[in-house]
Each structure stands twice: as structure tokens, then as C-alpha cells.
Structure 1
């Protein structure tokens, strides 16, 4: 029928090399990635970019999200099995990510730029299907703990973690920290661990959020017996208290299958019905005499797990940046192929301004994510390794200590609004599940929540201000490299440094008002970091527009850019 003839619709955005077409990502890899020809980083990323841009991979991403994981607690005969069934498309997606070492390349080929190469690979896969990125991220991050751990079988686990043989010998890791009564306050955990005669520990308790519960092993926080005794004594008014309890929280490596082949007690009670992240199973679990091996020192569990937390926070930034890229690329594609009022949408100033503003945000997030990844190349042992004698190495450690938290706050919080604005560019199509931006809109909030929601991160920045002045010195040394490029930037830099001094004085005086300003501080630090990177590493038209829009002409909404911005130059990079 003539009424069903379809025209003036954008064709499917498939067959696109998602690496080569992303100018910001290519630039970042060339600045901070490996330069050794033997690494072949750009070739590998180009191959991956072409692969994730295929119609087949995009269809698998859709299938993995529309056919959600299903929990089977028992088999047909009533035997407890605790298995999560995924659609085959999910296995194809994560299998390709593992095969291309989105989880391990920085550990297998360490050196300057290795973490950037790995981050870019992770970015490309997360851009199209973000749910699988959770276990990929946790495996990469868990290796930071495992590499220095000492327990029987550690070497075998390391080899499995580095394997590319998904579905075979490769192992994926998970993390279980939060509980019903504590959430982010992990020291309120009630899961307890008691020592066994063979050097293992038995864990009993629950975990309120355990993502990717079919992982092969988990890093779990639990209180030792001393903690339980101290807590009971404190409640009974016999002394002790929170300080002693803090010293008793420990970190354990918990496999799903024990060395003798027996199933470790690991009971999946239910799967979370989440807003987004639908392809990835998140669960509530119970531990009942579950066997684990102590990792790190007894009573220093938070310190032991921090390297994993830091890297998963980094991946939240990378994942958000990847989502921003998907959003603006889909919006720009639609605007180039859709006509209204006699011309393409992209040629209409109002739409061009929105696309350009979305690109500024995505580009700033991408540069920030890759710069952070580069900082993780300096001493791959993580935050627990603070004894480096190399001055530049120590500077990068100090920088990433603060910059990771700052970027996690700002970039991840900007993700949902960015996804919505891009979705609106597609009109009614964007609001339907047949197009990927509805899925992206539901996905972005989780990256701001996981690994520390807004207040947790902002207060972490405030604690660093009071305790780790070296981190602030390193942070301001980095962003200060853009001083002199723009008066607006210099003015904001001076004002924020004065603000930091005021807050530090308030902290030393014990002023209550300081916490009220933690979010403001973190946001301003984040915008300054992005502005500094954009001025130094983005094309002049892009960096100048970012500073003018975010410092000189701030708007709560996208598309309200100041006069004089080079729209065609910015839109072209989208």
C-alpha cells in the first residue's frame, strides 16, 4: 500500500567502525596509549571497532537485554543448583570481549599506555552492550588484588583470570560488599568469618548486592570472630567500640567451586529487578559455612579491596563515556538523515547546537576517562602500594587517588541527562525500545550509583582534602598545565583553589558546614579537570567551546551554547 511506503527515516546505524569514527577516542589513544609498534593497539582497536559496529553484534546486544537472565535455584528433582541462565547472545557478547582482552590486556602487556589500550577496548564493547561490562570490569579490577595475594591455588587462579577462553578455562570475578543494613557503610556488615584448621575461613551471612553471581570467584568482605565479640561487648556496654570493629573487617577470596570439585555453599536468593542493566544478573546471596581464603592482613579488609574499588570506579567513568558516545553518535546519525522544513535536521541551528553540546560532553568524558586510565599505568599494584620511589610514579598515584573520585562523581552524574537529550533528538523513535537510546537512558544511572553514589564520592573527596594533601597538590599540578590558555579557566582555577583552602580550614576547625559544600567542591574540581584536558588535547574549536559553555556561559540544559562557537567543527566530530 502506498500509505506504508517508508521514507525520510534514518537507515540503521550499522557497518560503522566505532573506533575510527570516534575522533576523541582515537586522539586519546594516540596521546596516552602504547606507542610500541609491537603492541598494535590501534590495529586491535580498529578490528574491535568494526566488529561492535556490525548489525550482528548490535542484534546480540538487543537480544541479551530483551531476553533477561533467569534464576534457577533448584533442579527438577529439588536439588539446590543456584544457576543463572543467560541468553546465548549474552555469551557471544562477553565471549568476544574476553577474547579481545577487554579485561586483561593491561596485566598481560604492562607498560606505559597499557591501561589506556585496555580502557579503549572496554569502552568499545560497553558502548554497544553495557551489561556484560560488569563482570569484565570486576575481573580486570580483581586482578589488582589477586596479583599480590597469597593462598593455595593463587597461581592457577591468576592464569585462569588472564585466559581468553570464555566458556573454557577463563575465570571471571565478582565482588560482594554491601549488605541490607549498611549499604555503602560496609563496616556495618554482619557477615562473619571463622578460621578453619586448614588455613581457610568459613563465612556466614548475606550480601544485598552481588552482581554477576555466576562468576567463578568473588572478593567478599566479612567480620572476623574478634569483630563479633567486640561488637557484642560494645552493645553490652563493656567497652570496645567502632574503632575496634573497623579493624576486624577482612577481605576473602571465595570460589564457587572448591579445589576438590565440590560446590561451595553460595545461595542465590533472588535476582534484582533493576531499572536498567538488564542483561547482567544482580542478586542477593546467602553464605552458610562458605569457604574462603584470607586476602591481605586480617582486619584490613577495606584496605585490601580498595585497588578493586578504584578500578571499578574508573570503569564506571569509562562506561559512562562510552554511553555518551553511543548517545551522541545515534543522535547525530538521525539528524543527518532526517529532513524537516526542507532541510536536514543537522543543518538547522537549534539541532546543531544540541548535537554540538552533547559532543562536548562526550568528548570531555572520553578524554577524562583515558587520562585516568593512563594514571593507572603507574604502579599497577593499586592504592595499597604507596612506597614507590619514583617521583613521577608517586605523582600519578596521588593524582588518580583524587581524580578518580572527582571524575566518578561528575561524569557519571552527567550521564543520564546526556542520554535523555540524545534520545529526544530522535523524537518518538528515541522513546521506543526498538531504538538503543531508551536502553541507554535506563543504563546510565547505575554507573553513578555503583561503587559509591554521589554523597559517598563527594565525602571521599572531602576526606582526601583533610588527610591526603599530596593528592590535591598532584591534581592541581595536572589541571594547572592549562593555565594561560583562557582567562575564564584561570579565574575559575584561582577561585577553586581559594575554596579548597577555606574548606581545609573548616575541616581543621571541625566546622559542620564543610560537608554541605562537598558536592559543590567535587563538581567544580571535575569541570576544571575536564576543561584542562579539553584545552590541552582537543582541537582548539572544541576546547574553546567547552570552556565558554561550561565556565563562561553555564546552562542546566543542552543546546544553549554561547555565540561564536564553531558548530560545524564540533558536530563533525560527532
Structure 2
């Protein structure tokens, strides 16, 4: 069993190895990887945790003080679309893309392996990087996301294939970053309202795009994907085509834009958004003025292609949330272990212990849910390789993944904001002051409920998935399988029975919405999404707890019981008279990762400990 971590040895949540300190992340990531992959990847993740906690955190703080600036025109009034970056950002890119191989290793076999890694490897890397810079994780995730699309649909055209190769390169002289320009002022989440027009040129597959894109993150990326409507194409999403629209173009199609005949693409970067947070990624408005675009795959398939990217992007968003919550929790643990008030450190006081236990349990649930969905995304990706995309869409992995991914993004994004806000409170006045990390994390977190679909959009997506993919048919057996495993252990059986009752109630709720009118179903959609999250997260924690008990550690059994008790508890008087002392009796186990002898779990976890 593990020894507890002494957070009092740290001055703050930096100058440390984030991977080594985050045993929650280690456990859920190991569970998400195929066994042989994790054996290889663990050392690389440890390397990234060390670099992020020292080198990249320094870079991030420098970029935060000196964020990107846009010079649209040169001194002669000519369009130059030049974004000026602090050099520290280039070092972070070098570490991420070239030394760690974030985009490379999930498409090409890295040194020491015969096959590429799953997308879980990129998502795990993004969670670690989000400990210090969720803004940078935005272009990092879009780089992988754009590569997913071009790998699947753009390999037949030599031009788009070259962009795939550049997006996935780990060569400092070859790699480019990705972006996606979807949002337009009149459309927002309504992508079908896209007004950008694509006009064919004399060269097959090459178009000129005219229109405006309103919210363009990583504005000067060379590997940008954009949606536009060809002339005479249908209205709505069915008429959209997908294009690579680079920052620069050249006759030889060099993605790096370094050839002698390189010129700026015909677009105007009007301004950068003056954002609340995620300052390290330049987000702006782009006016396409006959910009060169290379058609990806078949025309009028653009929206379908982008949805393949969207599943990964939403999980990347959730990974950023996991990283923010992990860092906020670490900062809170360290501060509480160091800060003295009235003669003792504040982590000795019951209310602070309860707060830290609740934060830790929520983090365990969020991490378990996100990486369970990540595992399913990789299973779906493998099915696409073996069976083709149409057959893969009928797979159990796809149907369950499509249900869990929007819910993962919905719930963890909101929890990142709430946790960052409370972490500011734990640090007191310092938590509200620039330089003490938590205020920045709160600003960075606030965009996560907006990126990749708001909570309302995601909730409606859940209704569509249940209707179109009948995902409840694979969701219920998946939960039951996990509960069956937990029910074999006396320490978990009662808690598993509670979740089984909730599963029955959830099924009843799903059946009700399936028969009610559309307005009522939409009214309850967010409640349904959160209910699915609670039930699945509880089952996943219980399944993990069962595995841990067999290995001789009962810590996660305590975590699972606490999560179930908080989400589904129906005690009178809001539990005040219940005698629950878990936050006091098991603080070291839940917050500091102390091992727990399974024999100590012979009685329900919430029972008062014997003196």
C-alpha cells in the first residue's frame, strides 16, 4: 500500500512532478491504456510531468505576462497578419510536439514501439499540460484533432496528406499546428447557418473561400480546417464541405510556408479577442478574402468529417478540466498543509478536511469518467481501422462513447469552474491575486463550459444520441457489469446496491423522456445528462475499487462510497444527524493517498471509527 503524501514539504503546486504527485491520474490512465502501451508510456508521462512542473510552468507564466500580439498591417499598410509570440511558447511547443511527441506518437510508432499509441496518450498528456496552461492545450488538441480528420479522410490527396504529415511530425523543422474555424457571427452553435462560400478554381480540389469566421483560436495555424459551402450546395449542415485553409500558401504546397514562392493566404486577421483567460492561445476574427482552401475528402461531407474530430476535442476539453481541477486540488492541499491559523495548520480543522475530501472525491469521479470515455474512443478508432467507419458506428464502443463524451465535457467543465473558484477561497486573499495561480486557473476554466458546445447544446446532443444510436441499450449493461464486479465484495455490496437502484430510476427517466413531447424532453435534458454521469461514474469507481481490493488496498472503496453517498444519499436533515465522520477518520486516505487495509472496511465506510 502507498504511503501518504506530505504536501507540507511543498511551498506551492509547482517545482514538482505533476504525474508523480497525481496518483488519481496515474490509476485512471493506466486503466485506460492497453497494458503493453502503458508499460511503455508511463516513463514518458513521468517525463512530461517533470517537465511541466518545472520548465513548462516557467514558460507558461512568462507567456501569461506577455501574451501573443497581432500586427495586422506592416509599416506600409500592407496586410501581414503577423502574430508575435513570447519565445517561451516556442520552447513549450518543442517539449510537447517534438520531445514528448504528443501528436506524433498517436499516429506513428515512436522509438521503442512497433505501433502508434492510442488517443488516450494524447489526452493524458493534455491533462498534465493543463496543470499549467489549458490555453496552450487548445492548439495542441486541435493539432491532434485536425490530424484525425486528415488521417481518416485526407490521405488520398497529396496536398492534404502533406498537412497530415506536418501536423504529426516530431521534427522541429517540419511540424505545424492545427486549428478549426467553425464559428460565424450569425451562427454560433448553429453550424448549419454557415455563410462562408467556396468557389472552385481551375485546379481540381482547390477553392477560394470568402466569408467571416468569428472565433478563431490559434489564428495563424498552418493546419487550419474550415467549413464552407460550395456554390449551389444545399442549405444547412448537409451542404458544408471541409477545407484546409493555411496561414501561407506556396506553389509546392509546403505546409511550413518557408519556400521561396510562399505568400500569405488571402485573409485578414482583423483583431485578437480581449479574453478573460487562456491568454496563451491567440483567438481572433478572420475575414476570408478568396483564401485558398484545399478540399478534404468528398464535397458536402464537411460536417460529418468534423464530427469525427469533435469527439476528440470534447474529450480534450474534459482533459483540460481534469488538469485544472488537479492543479487546484494540489494548490489547496499544499496551502492547507502549510498555512497556520490559531496554532495549527488549517488542514487539521474539520471543515477544511471535509472540503478537501469532497474536492478529492469529485476529482476521482471526473478522472475516472473521462478516461473511461477515452478508452472507448480508442476502441472505436480501432474498429474504424478494422471494419471501416460505417460498421464502426454500429459498434458498442461507439454507441457508448457517443453518450459519455458530451456528458464528460458538460460535467467536468462546470466542475473545473467550481473547483477553481473554491481553490481561490482556500488560499484566501492570495487566491484572488495574480501570481498565486488560482485566479488564473479560474479565468482559464471559465471558457471550458463554452468551448466545444455549451451545457445546453451538449444536453440536447445526449437526447439525439439516445434516440439515434439507442445508446441506453449499451449503457445499462456496461453499468451492470461494473456493479456485478463490485457486488462480490462485502465492503462494496451495499454501495453497489444503492447505485443499482439509481440505475433503475435512471432507466425510468429515460423511458419517460422517450414518450414525452419534445419540449418536455429538452426541459429535462440537462438533468438527464447529469444523472447519467453520476450513475456511470459511481459504477466506474466501484469497479476500480473492486480491483484495488483484490490488490490489497481499500482506499478507492472509501472514495466510491463517499461519491455515492453524496450524489444519491437521502438522509433526513441533510445528513447532519447521520454520525458521518469520514472526512475526519479517513482524511489521509482520501486526500493524501494513504493506503487502506481492506479489513478496515468490514463495516460501512461511513460508520464512526472505533477509538
TM-score (structure 1 length as normaliser): 0.89
Question: 2 CA distance for matches of 1:189 and 1:301?
Answer: 12
Alpha-carbon offset, residue 511 of structure 1:
4.1
Residue 468 (1) aligns with residue 469 (2): yes
Correspondence for 1:523: 530
Change beyond 3 A, Cα 1:288–1:390: closer
Q: Provide the secondary structure at the position in 2 that maps to 1:107.
A: coil
Question: 2 CA distance for matches of 1:268 and 1:316?
Answer: 25
Question: 1 CA distance for matches of 2:226 and 2:147?
Answer: 14
Alpha-carbon offset, residue 464 of structure 1:
1.4
Q: Would the aligned equivalents of 1:69 and 1:280 in 2 still touch at CA under 8 Å?
A: yes
Q: Would the aligned equivalents of 1:111 and 1:377 in 2 still touch at CA under 8 Å?
A: no
Q: Deviations along 1:396-449, whole A, 9 cap, x unmatched?
A: 111111110111111112211111112211111111111111000111121110
Correspondence for 1:176: 181
Q: Deviations along 1:244-301, whole A, 9 cap, x unmatched?
A: 5443121112122223223211211110111111111101001011111222332222
Q: Would the aligned equivalents of 1:33 and 1:112 in 2 still touch at CA under 8 Å?
A: no
Question: 1 CA distance for matches of 2:579 and 2:131?
Answer: 30
Change beyond 3 A, Cα 1:108–1:302: same
Question: 2 CA distance for matches of 1:407 and 1:560?
Answer: 34
Q: Provide the secondary structure at the position in 1 that maps to 2:435.
A: coil
Q: Would the aligned equivalents of 2:143 and 2:167 in 1 still touch at CA under 8 Å?
A: yes
Alpha-carbon offset, residue 459 of structure 1:
0.6
Which stretch of the first structure deviates more once superposed, 316-325 or 563-572?
563-572
Alpha-carbon offset, residue 156 of structure 1:
2.2
Q: Deviations along 1:510-536, whole A, 9 cap, x unmatched?
A: 442111111111111112122121112
CA RMSD of aligned residues (A): 2.6
Question: 1 CA distance for matches of 2:358 and 2:57?
Answer: 26
Question: 2 CA distance for matches of 1:453 and 1:382?
Answer: 29
Alpha-carbon offset, residue 568 of structure 1:
2.3
Q: Would the aligned equivalents of 1:268 and 1:286 in 2 still touch at CA under 8 Å?
A: yes
Residue 545 (1) aligns with residue 565 (2): no
Q: Would the aligned equivalents of 2:315 and 2:374 in 1 still touch at CA under 8 Å?
A: yes
Question: 2 CA distance for matches of 1:543 and 1:330?
Answer: 23
Question: 1 CA distance for matches of 2:441 and 2:518?
Answer: 41
Question: 1 CA distance for matches of 2:475 and 2:282?
Answer: 37
Change beyond 3 A, Cα 1:115–1:9: closer
Correspondence for 1:482: 482
Alpha-carbon offset, residue 562 of structure 1:
7.9
Q: Provide the secondary structure at the position in 1 that maps to 2:271.
A: strand
In the TM superposition, what are the counterparts of 1:113-512 in structure 2 within 5 Å? 114-147=118-151, 148-149=153-154, 150-166=156-172, 168-199=173-204, 200-227=206-233, 244-260=235-251, 261-380=262-381, 386-388=389-391, 394-469=395-470, 471-483=471-483, 484=487, 485=493, 486=495, 487-506=497-516, 510-512=517-519
Q: Provide the secondary structure at the position in 2 that maps to 1:53.
A: helix
Change beyond 3 A, Cα 1:187–1:562: farther
Alpha-carbon offset, residue 112 of structure 1:
9.6
Unaligned runs of 5+ in 1: 1-7, 231-243
Q: Provide the secondary structure at the position in 2 that maps to 1:82.
A: strand
Question: 2 CA distance for matches of 1:255 and 1:113?
Answer: 27
Unaligned runs of 5+ in 2: 1-7, 252-261, 488-492, 546-555, 595-611
Aligned residues between the structures: 542
Residue 533 (1) aligns with residue 540 (2): yes
Q: Provide the secondary structure at the position in 1 that maps to 2:295.
A: strand
